[in-house]
Amino acid sequence: MALAIGSGIGTRVGALAELESLYNGPIPDQARAVARFGTPAMVMLIRARAETAFFRGMVRGQLRTIRRRRADGSAYPALYEDLALYLRHCRAWHSYAVTLRLAVDTARPRAERQTRSPATSRAGLQFDGSSIARSRTGPDSVLFG
């Protein structure tokens, strides 16, 4: 089953309507998630970010526990093994999320970044995406130029 799903809300509603016509009973969670977020890669990216956040929280909690246990002298080796497990999973999910993000980003072109403040453009600052350059006619041209 391949659904042609775009990025707009109307096409997502259409995809959900198409799913409802395909299934007599409940729509499977995976198919509903793809219809909601657009692509399977986006669904996996959201899951990878959630898993990363979960394991990052587990790492923080385990570090607090280890510090507390060290302070009262009740630390034991399994605490460190659990910390290593949480760190491995956190790193694995994070690297998977980065890979998925790159795949999703290549599928969607980015808009050009605009200057956010009118005051910035009045001051002679120009944002070209990689650096900020100040015009040489301002008061700082004596210092920098």
φ, ψ for residue 3 (rounded to 5)? -105, 135
∠ CA(62), CA(66), CA(69), 5° rounding?
135
In whole numbers, what is the pLDDT of the chain averaged over residues? 77
d(CA 124, CA 119): 9
The predicted pLDDT at position 123 comes to 58
Please give the sequence-ordered ranges of beta strands (E in DSSP) within 14-134, or none if there are none: 125-127, 132-134
- Bigger pLDDT: 72 or 24? 72
Predicted confidence (pLDDT) per residue in 103-122, tens digit: 888 766 555 555 566 665 55
Most confident of 12-26, 36-50, 124-138: 36-50
Predicted confidence (pLDDT) per residue in 27-86, tens digit: 888 888 888 888 899 999 999 999 999 999 999 999 999 999 999 999 999 999 999 999
Q: How buried is 65 (Cβ within 10 angstroms: 0-12 exposed, 13-18 middle, 19+ buried)? A: middle
3-state secondary structure of 114: coil
Per-domain boundaries in the chain: 7-38, 45-109
Confidence check: pLDDT of 88 > 60: yes
